[in-house]
Amino acid sequence: MFDKVRQGAGTLKAINKLRQIQNQLSKERIALEENGVKVTLSGDLKIKELVTGGQDDKTIAEVINKAYEKSQKVVASKMQEMGGGLQGLLGGLGS
């Protein structure tokens, strides 16, 4: 019985840690400027700024896609930094 209580407490810790990480990532800004197009994304992958510079849709789409790729790498790195102890918190949740 106490194992279930401990497991529940560990799960709650993991959820709180994930919320904290999510909040920190939403404040992160990743910018990319290329071919007259500037895209700024938040760490939760939302476009915060888009300056097209009169470019065509294909160029704009290419720069946005590159910005997403860049932001995914930044987010992965931040998740690893912030969530280093997260694996232990999750315990046997994935097993």
Kindly report the pTM of this predicted structure. 0.64
Give the pLDDT confidence score for residue 85 in this predicted structure: 54
Q: Please write the tens of the pLDDT for every residue from 5-51.
A: 676 777 888 888 888 888 888 899 999 999 999 999 998 889 999 99
Token match 């799960």: residue? 11
Mean pLDDT, range 72-86, rounded to an integer: 77
Identify whether the C-beta of residue 22 lies closer than 8 Å to the C-beta of residue 36.
Answer: no
Q: Hey, what's the torsion of the CAs at 62, 64, 68, 73, to 10 degrees?
A: 70
Q: Which domains does the chain have, with CATH numbers?
A: 2-83 (3.30.1310.10)
The alpha carbon of residue 56 and the mean position of all alpha carbons in its chain are separated, in whole angstroms, by 28
CA 34, CA 15: separation in Å to the nearest integer?
38
Mean pLDDT of the chain: 82
